[in-house]
A and B are shown apart, each in its own frame.
Chain A
Amino acid sequence: MRRDFPVLQQQVYGKPLVYLDNAATSQAPQAVIDAMNRFYLEYRSNVHRGVYHLSERATEAYEGTRVKVRKFLNVASDREIVFTRGATESINLVAHSYGRKFLREGDEIVISHMEHHSNIVPWQLVCGMTGAVLKVIPINDRGELIWEEFEKLLGPKTRFVSIVHVSNSLGTINPVKRIIDRAHEIGAKVLLDGAQAVSHMRVDAQKLDCDFFAFSGHKLFGATGTGVLYGKSELLNAMPPYQGGGDMIKLVTFEKTTWNDLPLKFEAGTPNIAGFIGLGAAIDYLEELDFEAAIRHERELLVYGTKVLSTIPRLKLIGTAENKTGIFSFVLENIHPHDVATILDREGIAIRAGHHCTQPVMQRFNIPATSRASLAFYNTKEEIDALARGIYKVLEIFK
């Protein structure tokens, strides 16, 4: 299986690449690269408009991915799958389209303290435009939501809950089903930021009953610049377009424009066609691989890695939730994460150092940044051992 990923076969600074920045971007298997190459080599053309062979092939492949994503998320209709540039754009779409139409002054939007900036800032913008108010669920020292505090925030003014499914800086898996049920009880809509979830677990949007679900293709072994927004059709139908131009219209005159049907109403301009064809290939790859087995392997790595890292002196894991995915966010006493990442890099080990676009999480733990090693199913125990050896080298340099 590991041989399916060309990037992983290389050496960096003379050492085998150990790629542990999957929470930022995961690697694409050859099948995904081949699918995108075929588009460029054989049928590069625009979608939906051309009445010739190449365009028909492109449209078929592009729309084929929509079907695959619909099945992957187990939602009712292809019309509920909107293609965007990424999870960030998906959230912005909901915030700007749904938020500006349905939120009023004094309405409350609930997010959590562990959100990525892309699930904070769009809502702040909407609050600025509508007079709605942002409320934040606090987290405990393990990096878990404090349920009682969430309950306290819910009230008659709560209109929307936008919450991360899996935290990118802590690894915490939030109890999203429980959150959605509770929010629905008081009539609030719920968006899940699933950017970190889809590559680590099965997501069943119907079973969860979320109103919106956002993720990025490049974290699901596909291309950068591809994103998905699932939305319940009655909500998407009620929402105005977010951007104008291209496929999102049926008829334009200078007096009036008629919007296209779902999902094209939200897909202005020529999309990343090759990228979405690649995303379809990535989903095919996961299904053929046995996604459940991949998830099990990653869980074993999480247990192993937690054990190994916990024995390293001066190392403290940030994010120790009972229910978490393969993300090791850590700080080394008196050593800045950037220094850690630079030294590991020269060992061929790619990790992320910084605030991971979750500055409120860093503020919560009173740290400027963390080093973060994040897993995918193609990682191995040997790579975790290499990470540990690299960290010991850091400790040696900064002894």
Chain B
Amino acid sequence: MSELNELNDLYREVILDHARHPRNKGALPSADRKAEGYNPLCGDRVILTVKLDSGVIADVRFEGSGCAISTASASILTETLKGKTEAEFSGLFDKFHTLVTSGGEAPATASEWGKLAVFEGVREFPMRVKCATLSWHTLKAALENKQEPVTTEE
């Protein structure tokens, strides 16, 4: 694959769109779960607030600042996870990690993944995996009710 194609793969229109116009950005005043994530290497921060309803993620929003990849990841994550159960998130968490890091395994089909499939290009940029997964780790911490901020270096 040429370098240009790889770059286009990383910065797909969907990612650029979500980076420019992030969805679900802001605080959730009625949240009953909250966690902060931090990437000490670049200083990026994200705060996830979650409203749960009988084990279902009824609402989730994010705050903070980061690069295009981390902002788009948080934005698409919040869009995707609304209405899903904690168990479904847990399954997706592992799959997403595989999607952005796997060296050989074929990615899941686009239809299964929805918008999350656009992050497949991250695997060609190992230094950016932490950007893509920061909000996922933070949401996991929020659901587990962890009080300590999570960092990408754990």
- B interface list, Cβ under 8 A from A: 3-4, 6-7, 10-11, 16, 20, 41-45, 65-69, 71, 125, 127-128, 131
- A338 near B42 with CB under 8 A, answer yes
Distance A398 CA – B16 CA, assembled complex (angstroms): 7
- A397 near B11 with CB under 8 A, answer yes
- A338 near B3 with CB under 8 A, answer no
Distance A369 CA – B6 CA, assembled complex (angstroms): 25
- A13 shortest CB reach to chain B, Å: 5
Give every chain B residue within 8 A of A362 (Cβ-Cβ): 43
**24 sampled A-B residue pairs with Cβ under 8 A:** A13-B3, A14-B3, A334-B20, A336-B71, A338-B42, A338-B44, A338-B67, A338-B131, A342-B10, A342-B127, A343-B7, A343-B11, A353-B42, A355-B43, A359-B43, A368-B42, A368-B43, A368-B44, A368-B45, A368-B65, A369-B42, A369-B43, A397-B7, A397-B11
Whether a CB of chain B sits under 8 angstroms from the CB of A339 is: yes
Give every chain A residue within 8 A of B7 (Cβ-Cβ): 342-343, 346, 397
Given A337-B42, A343-B11: 11 more A-B contacts, CB < 8 Å: A334-B20, A336-B68, A336-B71, A338-B42, A339-B11, A339-B67, A339-B68, A342-B128, A359-B43, A368-B44, A398-B11
Do A354 and B42 contact each other (CB < 8 Å), given the known contacts A339-B68, A342-B127?
Answer: yes
Most buried by B among A14, A354, A359: A354
**How many of A's residues come within 8 Å of B, CB to CB?**
20
Contact with B along A319-344 (1 / 0, CB 8 A): 00000000000000011111100110
Give every chain A residue within 8 A of B43 (Cβ-Cβ): 354-355, 359, 362, 368-369
Give every chain A residue within 8 A of B65 (Cβ-Cβ): 368
- A228 shortest CB reach to chain B, Å: 27
Query: Which residues of chain A from 1 to 43 have a CB within 8 Å of any chain B CB?
Result: 13-14
Q: Label chain A's interface by main secondary structure.
A: mixed
- A346 near B131 with CB under 8 A, answer no
- A338 near B128 with CB under 8 A, answer yes
Q: Label chain B's interface by main secondary structure.
A: helix
Give every chain A residue within 8 A of B127 (Cβ-Cβ): 342
- B91 shortest CB reach to chain A, Å: 29
Distance A397 CA – B8 CA, assembled complex (angstroms): 9
Which of chain B's residues has its CB closest to A359's CB?
B43
Give every chain B residue within 8 A of A13 (Cβ-Cβ): 3
Distance A334 CA – B127 CA, assembled complex (angstroms): 21
Give every chain B residue within 8 A of A338 (Cβ-Cβ): 42, 44, 67, 69, 128, 131
Give every chain B residue within 8 A of A355 (Cβ-Cβ): 42-43
Give every chain B residue within 8 A of A353 (Cβ-Cβ): 42
- A134 shortest CB reach to chain B, Å: 21
Distance A13 CA – B65 CA, assembled complex (angstroms): 30
- B18 shortest CB reach to chain A, Å: 13
Distance A254 CA – B64 CA, assembled complex (angstroms): 57
- A18 shortest CB reach to chain B, Å: 14
Distance A299 CA – B43 CA, assembled complex (angstroms): 31
Distance A335 CA – B68 CA, assembled complex (angstroms): 8
Do A346 and B6 contact each other (CB < 8 Å), given the known contacts A338-B131, A398-B16?
Answer: yes
Distance A354 CA – B69 CA, assembled complex (angstroms): 15
Give every chain A residue within 8 A of B6 (Cβ-Cβ): 346
Give every chain B residue within 8 A of A397 (Cβ-Cβ): 7, 11, 16
Indicate which residue in A14, A336, A346 contacts B67 across the interface (CB closer than 8 Å): A336
Query: Which residues of chain A from 334 to 372 have a CB within 8 Å of any chain B CB?
Result: 334-339, 342-343, 346, 353-355, 359, 362, 368-369
Which of chain B's residues has its CB closest to A397's CB?
B11
Give every chain B residue within 8 A of A335 (Cβ-Cβ): 68
Which of chain A's residues has its CB closest to B45's CB?
A368
Which of chain A's residues has its CB closest to B66's CB?
A336
- B123 shortest CB reach to chain A, Å: 14
Distance A369 CA – B10 CA, assembled complex (angstroms): 21
Which of chain A's residues has its CB closest to B10's CB?
A342
Give every chain A residue within 8 A of B68 (Cβ-Cβ): 335-336, 339, 398
- A121 shortest CB reach to chain B, Å: 13
- B125 near A342 with CB under 8 A, answer yes
Indicate which residue in B4, B10, B16, B41 contacts A354 across the interface (CB closer than 8 Å): B41
Which of chain B's residues has its CB closest to A347's CB?
B3
- B54 shortest CB reach to chain A, Å: 37
The 8 closest A-B pairs by CB, nearest first: A336-B67, A338-B67, A346-B3, A13-B3, A368-B43, A355-B43, A354-B42, A339-B68
- A363 shortest CB reach to chain B, Å: 10
- B44 shortest CB reach to chain A, Å: 6
Distance A338 CA – B42 CA, assembled complex (angstroms): 8
Distance A342 CA – B44 CA, assembled complex (angstroms): 16
Give every chain B residue within 8 A of A343 (Cβ-Cβ): 7, 11
Give every chain A residue within 8 A of B11 (Cβ-Cβ): 339, 343, 397-398
Distance A341 CA – B100 CA, assembled complex (angstroms): 19
